Amino acid sequence: MVWIFFVIAGGISLLLTSALRRYALSKSLIDIPNARSSHTIPTPRGGGVAIVLSFLLLLPVLSIFSLLPWASTWGLLGAGAGIAVLGFLDDHGHIAARWRLLGHFIAAAWALFWLGGIPPLTLFGAVVDMGWVGGVLSLFYLVWMLNLYNFMDGIDGLASVEALCVCLSASLIYALMGFGALAWAPLLLSFTVAGFLYWNFPPAKIFMGDAGSGFLGVTLGILSLQAAWTSPSLVWVWLILMGVFVVDATFTLIRRLVRGDKVYEAHRSHAYQYASRRFGRHLPVTLTVGLVNVVWLLPLALCVGLFGLDGFLGVIIAYIPLAILAWKFQAGAVEKSQAG
């Protein structure tokens, strides 16, 4: 019966995305290609709201049937809804960056309140309790997660495929580690994302928009911290699984900061954006990211979760080739059109 629930969740997301596409077309909520775009065809935006609504409406069902603690549900509901509303308003009319950032921190603080902060972590075999410093770091972690997901939602299907791979991989690891109860929320999210991906797969018929990408980022961040309360090693598992997005976004941000760029301005200098222009299509890049998740990051995350590999060391091993790829594909480099 539980699988019927997940199939229903995916079906709701699929139908909602179709309805949102018609709404976007009727209201002229269209992304028009410009010098900063990675697409060439005007495309409706805001379809990520389907993920938000289907996930948040069905999430309490998990708690009603004791499949998810109510505290986690309240944390996910409040933070996810807040970020989605903020992104939806920004999709419809620009909101100043400082007010968006304030909203991000409020949502992150709400989630951490319900999660109970950040648990002690394992570092080279030692358990480290960071106290209030850990609380501050986890606050910035959640804000960075939701923003980096927004940055990485720039080509067809990429953000959806990443969320799908991360959630399904985490659920598999939970089951193998004997923490199957943790898998329900990521599984629900994966099915709602799959319903949207039908419309978002290259070539996309609708874009996710800030409402969807920010929601996915903060939700994945919350799920990673929730898991750490069950087993400290699981936060490293999540960081490994999200490696493609973390490395590309962070590498690009640091390089632009060092150069003195206005990092809040739109750009096309992420590695995945350079790659999509080099290949001339979005599909090869999106599929490659999915492949990297399955053949590189998932096995390393399994080594941390099941076979005793130190989590921090696992993250370093996972990230080194990703950083090399980011450098190879010029993440954060000045675009030739700008340089000229």
Dump pLDDT digits (tens) for 138-190: 999 999 999 999 999 999 999 999 999 999 999 999 999 999 999 999 999 99
CB 186 within 8 A of CB 237: no
Of 59-63, 262-266, 297-301, 306-310, which gets the smallest average pLDDT? 262-266
Query: Residue 265 in 3-state DSSP?
Result: coil
Residues of the binding site for Mg(2+) = 150, 210
Q: CB of 201 within 8 A of CB of 23? A: no
* Position 57, amino acid: L
Judge whether 169 and 293 are in contact, CB under 8 Å: yes
User: Which residues are annotated binding-site positions?
Assistant: 150, 210
Q: Is the per-residue pLDDT at 118 higher than 90?
A: no
- pTM value is 0.95
CA distance 235 to 227: 7
Amino acid letter, residue 292: V
Q: Measure the CA–CA gap between 281 and 266, rounded to whole angstroms.
A: 20
pLDDT at position 41, please?
81
pLDDT at 339 over 50: no
110-148: buried (b, 16+ CB within 10 Å) or exposed (e) per residue?
bbbebbeebbebbeeeeeeebeeebeeebbebbbbbbbb
> For residue range 240-292, what is the model confidence (pLDDT) as tens digits?
999 999 999 999 999 999 998 887 777 899 999 999 999 999 999 999 999 99
Which pLDDT score is estimated for 35? 56
Q: How confident is the model at residue 130 (pLDDT cuts 50, 70, 90)?
A: confident
In this structure, is the dihedral angle defined by the CA atoms of residues 27, 59, 289 and 274, taken in order, positive or negative? positive
pLDDT at 9 over 50: yes
Q: Quote the pLDDT of residue 123.
A: 79
Strand 30-31 relative to strand 126-128, pairing: unpaired
The total of other beta-carbon atoms located within 10 Å of residue 275's CB is: 21
Instruction: Check whether 191 has a pLDDT greater than 80.
Output: yes
What is the per-residue burial (b if ≥16 Cβ within 10 Å, else e) of 254-269? ebbeeeebeeeeebbb
User: Residues 103-122: what's their mean pLDDT?
Assistant: 92
Return the axis-axis angle of helices 158-177 and 298-306, rounded to nearest 10°: 20
The upper half-sphere exposure of residue 107, i.e. CA atoms within 13 Å in the direction of its Cβ, equals: 32
Mean pLDDT, rounded, of the chain: 93
Q: Does pLDDT of 319 surpass 90? A: yes
Higher pLDDT, 216 or 335: 216
User: In this predicted structure, what is the pLDDT of residue 340?
Assistant: 38
Closest listed residue to residue 118, CA positions, set 136, 145, 144, 143: 136
Model confidence at 338: pLDDT above 70: no
Mean pLDDT computed over 63-73: 96
Helix, strand, or coil (residue 226): helix
